[in-house]
């Protein structure tokens, strides 16, 4: 842990005056590749998600929440509050990758740990593993049980001989292992941590599920139980897990002062590459983007727009639904704020949502969002989104056309020009290129 002297004395002062009770516990429930249209409360006609639906009923359901369009950038935004191009990983973070979060990053876990929180992680990391210093327990988490990267980093889907194993702390403790009961094992770990919680210290608990990332795995208790085949079984088991965690919070009397954030890291792998279409993986094993356009790995909304719900009973009015633009970096910035944690010394791309969440203001503080893939491919500013990947300007009015069906570029050349200039400024700032567009 990289402890700062100022933060250290801040923790001592906090403990001395006993203000920990006015800061919420934080539980992050993070699905992997769950589509915007997968939960019932986001419109799926067959998959049953009563616990996700109840979370939405008791909190704020966001319908324009965006993040990175695949695993690493979305987790980077959550853990650092920064767009991925700002973070110098110096290598890949999957199997055989030697990159990882540098010491200069001020992670969510480090910030809350230094603010006096107990910090725990269960599940997938994917932000570096080859050197132990990259692992969660050296990035601010007190404990970690889970996988270092995605569950498909094994043959035949990825040509690697690196063992895919479960870690506890900074040691691999199980290889090989059965993925079928993994959601249940993560659930048992998470509920055990909540049950052991000391009432005099707030905690951060980050649960990053392996599912429904391909290859799909589900326990025997849920196999064949849904009305939507194997994929439905997997989603319904994740929903069960969420229900168990929420139930445990309630049993411990922690619900009122716990902020729960649920989201997916990105959209479903509808356009999965040929390497994934083997050994039991089928095209229908990907989730749903609902009426949105696009897939995981793309900058149409089906890739970066995901289901997202925030519940905080003591602060957020239940049953709210908002189409305001919110981005994953905002979660980082907001959690540091509510935890009274030291701000990051780095450029942060997130905004503090506290006033918006509490209903003090009607609008989200986020006014724009930049969509990266190999380069900077799109930007949304207010109601307008410009996408340049094809070399032709694609301009969509997101309030009236969230499905990106009607290209308005020819009618709104001045908006195209303004948004394109914004993209060029950001691209220069982070060292990425923007596709030149035709006039």
- Active-site positions read 71, 126
H helices within 96-155, ranges in order?
108-114
**Cα–Cα distance, 165 to 233 (Å, whole number):** 24
φ, ψ of residue 385 to 5 degrees: the values are: -130, 130
**How far apart, in whole angstroms, are the C-alpha atoms of residue 253 and residue 325?**
33
3-state secondary structure of 71: helix
**Angle (deg, nearest 10), helices 328-338 and 71-80:** 20
CB 305 within 8 A of CB 321: no
d(CA 348, CA 337): 13
Do residues 134 and 112 touch, judged by C-beta distance below 8 A?
Answer: no
Cα–Cα distances (Å) from 220 to 180, 326, 388, in that order, read 8, 37, 46
The token pair at 98 is 């030697």
Rounded to whole angstroms, the Cα distance separating 189 from 296 reads 29
391 CB burial (10 A radius; 0-12, 13-18, 19+): exposed
Give the 3-state secondary structure of residue 243: helix
Tokens of 157: 């889907």
Q: How far apart (Å, rounded) are the C-alpha atoms in residues 147 and 51? A: 25
Taking the CA of residue 36 as centre, how many other CA atoms within 13 Å lie in the half-sphere pointing to its CB? 26
d(CA 204, CA 24): 9
């Amino acid at each position: 842990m990289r402890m700062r002297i100022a933060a250290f004395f801040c923790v001592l002062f906090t403990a001395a005056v006993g203000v920990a009770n006015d800061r919420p516990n934080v539980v992050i429930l993070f699905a992997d590749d769950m589509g915007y249209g997968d939960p019932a409360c986001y419109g799926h006609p067959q998959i049953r998600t009563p616990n996700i639906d109840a979370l939405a009923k008791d909190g704020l359901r966001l319908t324009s929440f965006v993040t990175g369009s695949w695993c690493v950038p979305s987790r980077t935004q959550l853990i650092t509050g920064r767009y991925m191009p700002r973070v110098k990983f110096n290598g890949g973070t999957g199997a055989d990758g030697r990159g990882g979060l540098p010491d200069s990053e001020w992670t969510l876990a480090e910030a809350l740990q230094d603010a006096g929180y107990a910090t725990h992680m269960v599940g997938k990391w994917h932000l570096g593993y080859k050197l132990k210093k990259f692992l969660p327990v050296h990035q601010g988490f007190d404990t970690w049980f889970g996988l270092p990267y995605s569950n498909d980093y094994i043959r035949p889907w990825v040509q690697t001989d690196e063992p895919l194993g479960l870690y506890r702390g900074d040691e691999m403790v199980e290889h090989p292992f059965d993925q079928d009961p993994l959601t249940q094992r993560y659930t048992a770990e998470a509920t055990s941590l909540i049950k052991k919680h000391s009432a005099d210290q707030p905690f951060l608990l980050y649960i990053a599920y392996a599912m429904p990332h391909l290859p799909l795995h589900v326990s025997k208790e849920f196999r064949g139980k849904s009305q939507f085949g194997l994929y439905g079984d997997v989603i319904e088991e994740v929903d069960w897990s969420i229900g168990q965690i929420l139930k445990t919070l309630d049993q411990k009397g922690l619900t009122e002062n716990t902020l729960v954030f649920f989201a997916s890291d990105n959209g479903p792998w509808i356009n999965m590459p040929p390497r994934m279409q083997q050994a039991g993986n089928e095209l229908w094993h990907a989730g749903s983007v609902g009426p949105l356009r696009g897939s995981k790995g793309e900058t149409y909304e089906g890739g970066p727009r995901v289901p997202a719900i925030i519940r905080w009973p003591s602060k957020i009015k239940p049953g709210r639904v908002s189409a305001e633009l919110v981005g994953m970096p905002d979660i980082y910035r907001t959690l540091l704020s509510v935890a009274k944690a030291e701000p990051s010394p780095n450029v942060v791309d997130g905004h503090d949502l506290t006033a918006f969440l509490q209903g003090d203001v009607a609008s989200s503080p986020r006014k724009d969002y930049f969509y990266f893939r190999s380069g900077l491919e799109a930007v949304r500013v207010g109601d307008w989104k410009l996408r340049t990947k094809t070399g032709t300007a694609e301009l969509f009015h997101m309030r009236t056309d969230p499905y990106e069906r009607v290209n308005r570029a020819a009618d709104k050349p001045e908006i195209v020009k303004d948004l394109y200039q914004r993209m060029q400024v950001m691209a220069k700032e982070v060292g990425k290129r923007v596709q030149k567009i035709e006039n």
